[in-house]
Structure 1
Amino acid sequence: MENLWRDDEIDPLRNKAGGEAADVALAERVYSSRLLGREPDLVLHGGGNTSVKVDRTWPDGSKRRTLHVKGSGWDLATIEAPGLPAVDLEPLLAARTSGGMSDPEMVALLRANLMDRDAPNPSVETLLHAFIPHAFVDHTHSLPILVLANQPDAEQLCAEVFGDEVAFVPYVMPGFDLSIACGDIYDRNPGCKGLFLQNHGLFTFSDDARESYSLTIEYTSEAEDYLAGKGAALAADLANEANEPEALTARLGEAFAAAFPEMASVAFDYREDANVRSYTGHDRLDEISRRGTVTPDHVIRIKPFAMICSEDDPIDALAAKMRVFAAEYTAYFDRHAPNAAEPKTMLGPQPKAIVVRGRGIYGVDSSEKGAGIVADLMVQTTRAVIASEALGSFRPISEPDLFEMEYWTLEQAKSQRK
């Protein structure tokens, strides 16, 4: 993967920031965040987050160590300084020895310590950024890393590929517990330059913006080289082919209206390329398509599994498959909701991704934008799964963990507000 850092681009931004060290560091943080955001195989549709620690003068005149961290709703590709809200670092560090807190309590802690009370919510992984002592922290869902991280022997692969430069973190649900786990593992590996999170992604860190960013590129490139050496090279991202089966799209629309009459509208986004065909033509498609998502937060967009159909299915058959999907999704909810710590409200049971055997994939949503996001994530999924299966076996988080992520208390609160 190419390192996009250019001194002739960052130097004018440093100069524009003025002589204040905190503002210069923030300018560097914005610049390197955008570099990460420009590469879909590092972050896609809001995935990943970045931060920088600086010394700032607060409105009350006090000097405080301050954490600027990516805020909710901001995309790294286009982030500006307001998208990295400032949080008082000291209370965050104190939370590490608090004995534990719920995710809503964690969000309340972050909001209570914002410099600007009107700023967006800091990332749910803010405490993880706080507990790593380096100034710059970069978190990505690097696709080559995810191919390794979703293997049954992910810990051994981490050691083989990165040695002791990157410490392995077993899967933990994002939020407070993951922050504690990563802080503890960093403390046991103080010389490490990165954290390899099983089934989740990569953290890199440094006191220098360029080095932290460059470590992400370096480790991603090493993962790419390792996969290629094992005959499991990650296929290049390809342009979408303009050969949508329009008759099938029309039948899907009619079938959707029949199966889910309560939905006011539905949008489809069709994708097809050689990688997608390799996935949709897989002889074990029915099985591998139900294993889960390549990184946990994708389940919020695409659900834990897709609906599968054939190009020549008539409307009645498509509607029947949609009803079967809804029944299977309801059963999935019923299996896991009773075990949740608090009551859960089931999300809509309609499919978000539709796989056409031997052809392409549809993203499905109530809006064209949402359908496009689902389609993007599914195209990326096909490449990761193909490479994972070539290397060994694609083994993402378990179904109970998928449910915990999809029905995360913070996500339930979002859907209820909507």
Structure 2
Amino acid sequence: MKSRWNDEDAARYVEAARATGQSEALGLRIYTSRIIGGDPDLVLHGGGNTSVKVTAADGEALMHIKGSGWDLDTIEAPGLPAVRLAPLLEARNGPKLSDPDMVALLRASLIEADAPNPSVEALLHAFLPFAFVDHTHATAILALADQPDMREAVHRIYGARLAYVPYVMPGFDLSIVADRIYREYPSCQGLWLENHGLFTFADDARLSYELMIEFITMAEEELSRKGVTLPGPQPSDGTEDLALRARLEKALVRDGSPFTKAAFLDYRSTAAIREHAGKENMEAISLRGTVTPDHVIRIKPWPMIIEQGADEAAIDAALAAYADRYKAYFARNAKRTTEPKHMLDVYPRIILVRNQGIYAVGASAKAAKIGGDLCEQATRAINAAEGYGRFTPIGEADLFDMEYWSLEQAKLKVAGQ
């Protein structure tokens, strides 16, 4: 992976920040956030987050952190709201915070009351004692992070430069565990989050960003060592069955579905998607879960699978089977939670056509495109993970907790999806 850092571009962002009375550090934070967000092999559609710590004119320590509803590739200063750092640091040694209490703390710490909610990982950003903190869901990292028992491999690849964090639900718990592990390895330059992604940090914007690029490159080299080539984003070059599309659109629009007026379909048939769709064990792989936890809120835990040229009866049967599977998944997991859960709709967001391609389904063209982008990246990561070893994402219980986590569902509402 190549660095996209450009001194002239960075200087323009610094100058723009000065011209509007903002700090140079925030200007650089906007710049590196955008070059991270502009690479689909780093983050997609609201994924990842970035922060920068600054000192206000009155000497108060502040942190600008990505806000909900913003994408890194188009982020501007309002998308990096400032929070007071001191109350966040106090949470490190305080009692466990519930989700509502954590959100209340973050909102109470905002400098501007009407700013967007800070990222659910704001506490972890705050606890790390560096000016710049970057977090991505890079494709090459996911191919390795979604492997069983990677702790020793991560140590072999990165030595002491990365500290290994076992999977923990994002939010307060992850912040506390990751902070404890960082303090056990204070000379590390990043955190490897099992089944999740990568954090890097430094007191210099370029260094934090280029550490991210370096560590991802090392992941690519590890894949290559096992003979796995990870292709970049690919064009959709397969021929679509337009009659199948029409049948799917008709089948999805019905009473009780979330697509009461229209179902928007985004078709993709890249080489990587066709490779995945053609695997003999494709269905078993697909049922294991999503490549990174937060994908589940946009594309559901697994796709619906149909054959090429499926007729109306076959599509209806597949939808019914999908609904039954989803209801059983909900029943198994809802009964173990302490708070009541309301089941979401039982319709797929990804339809995988065997040996052919995928349809991402949404209530809008934007939602469908987002699903398509996520699935296109996911198939490349899954193919690489299977080539390296065995694609092994988080288990069903953790996936359910993520899908039904109120803070994740709130992201969709903020983004209007």
Task: Give how far 1:123 is off.
Answer: 0.4
Map 1:175-254; keep pairs closer than 5 Å.
175-241=171-237, 243-254=239-250
TM-score by length of 2: 0.96
1:170 equivalenced with 2:170 (yes/no): no
Task: Show the counterpart of 2:102.
Answer: 106
Q: Is the 8 A contact 2:297 2:409 kept in 1?
A: no
Indicate the SS of the match to 1:117. coil
User: How much identity, in percent, do the aligned residues show?
Assistant: 52
Indicate the SS of the match to 1:160. helix
Task: Give how far 1:22 is off.
Answer: 6.7
Task: Show the counterpart of 1:27.
Answer: 27
The CA distance in 1 between the partners of 2:114 and 2:86, in whole Å, is: 20
Q: Is the 8 A contact 1:151 1:392 kept in 2?
A: yes
Q: Is the 8 A contact 1:255 1:316 kept in 2?
A: no
Question: For the aligned residues, what is the CA RMSD?
Answer: 1.8
Figure out how many residues of one structure are paired with residues of the other and give that number: 414
The CA distance in 2 between the partners of 1:80 and 1:151, in whole Å, is: 36
Q: Of residues 357, 362, 366 in structure 1, which corresponds to 2:363? A: 366
Task: Show the counterpart of 1:117.
Answer: 113
The CA distance in 1 between the partners of 2:345 and 2:321, in whole Å, is: 14
Q: Is the 8 A contact 2:102 2:172 kept in 1?
A: yes
State the one-letter code of the partner of 1:81.
A
Change (3 A) 1:321 1:17: closer
Task: Give how far 1:235 is off.
Answer: 2.3
Task: Show the counterpart of 1:76.
Answer: 72
Task: Give how far 1:252 is off.
Answer: 1.1
The CA distance in 2 between the partners of 1:369 and 1:307, in whole Å, is: 20
147-156 vs 393-402, which deviates more? Answer: 147-156
State the one-letter code of the partner of 2:404.
Y
The CA distance in 2 between the partners of 1:272 and 1:317, in whole Å, is: 21
Q: Is the 8 A contact 1:267 1:366 kept in 2?
A: yes
The CA distance in 1 between the partners of 2:241 and 2:19, in whole Å, is: 58
Change (3 A) 1:342 1:11: same
15-24 vs 390-399, which deviates more? Answer: 15-24
229-238 vs 17-26, which deviates more? Answer: 17-26
The CA distance in 1 between the partners of 2:196 and 2:327, in whole Å, is: 26
Q: Cα deviations across residues 136-195 of structure 1 (Å, max 9, x unaligned)?
A: 000000110111111002212211111110000000000000000111011000000000
Task: Show the counterpart of 1:88.
Answer: 84
Task: Give how far 1:300 is off.
Answer: 0.5
The CA distance in 1 between the partners of 2:240 and 2:19, in whole Å, is: 55
The CA distance in 2 between the partners of 1:18 and 1:334, in whole Å, is: 55
Task: Show the counterpart of 1:290.
Answer: 287
Task: Show the counterpart of 1:275.
Answer: 272
Q: Is the 8 A contact 1:37 1:75 kept in 2?
A: yes
State the one-letter code of the partner of 2:44.
L
Q: Is the 8 A contact 2:68 2:411 kept in 1?
A: no
The CA distance in 2 between the partners of 1:34 and 1:67, in whole Å, is: 18
The CA distance in 2 between the partners of 1:222 and 1:301, in whole Å, is: 29
Task: Give how far 1:208 is off.
Answer: 0.4
Q: Is the 8 A contact 1:259 1:320 kept in 2?
A: no
Q: Cα deviations across residues 25-68 of structure 1 (Å, max 9, x unaligned)?
A: 000100011110110010001100000001013xxxx4210000
The CA distance in 1 between the partners of 2:375 and 2:407, in whole Å, is: 24
Indicate the SS of the match to 1:63. coil
Indicate the SS of the match to 1:287. helix
| Residue ranges of structure 2 left out of the alignment (5+ in a row) | none
State the one-letter code of the partner of 1:302.
I
Indicate the SS of the match to 2:253. helix
Indicate the SS of the match to 2:55. strand
Indicate the SS of the match to 1:339. coil
Q: Cα deviations across residues 114-155 of structure 1 (Å, max 9, x unaligned)?
A: 100011110000000000000000000011011111100221
Task: Show the counterpart of 2:135.
Answer: 139
The CA distance in 1 between the partners of 2:351 and 2:13, in whole Å, is: 44
Change (3 A) 1:179 1:317: same
Task: Show the counterpart of 1:334.
Answer: 331
Task: Show the counterpart of 1:9.
Answer: 9
Change (3 A) 1:416 1:64: closer
Indicate the SS of the match to 1:215. helix
Q: Cα deviations across residues 177-231 of structure 1 (Å, max 9, x unaligned)?
A: 0000111011000000000000000000000000000000000111111101111
Q: Of residues 308, 318, 322 in structure 2, which corresponds to 1:325? A: 322
Map 1:54-65; keep pairs closer than 5 Å.
54-57=54-57, 62-65=58-61
The CA distance in 1 between the partners of 2:207 and 2:95, in whole Å, is: 34
Indicate the SS of the match to 2:239. coil
Q: Is the 8 A contact 2:142 2:195 kept in 1?
A: yes
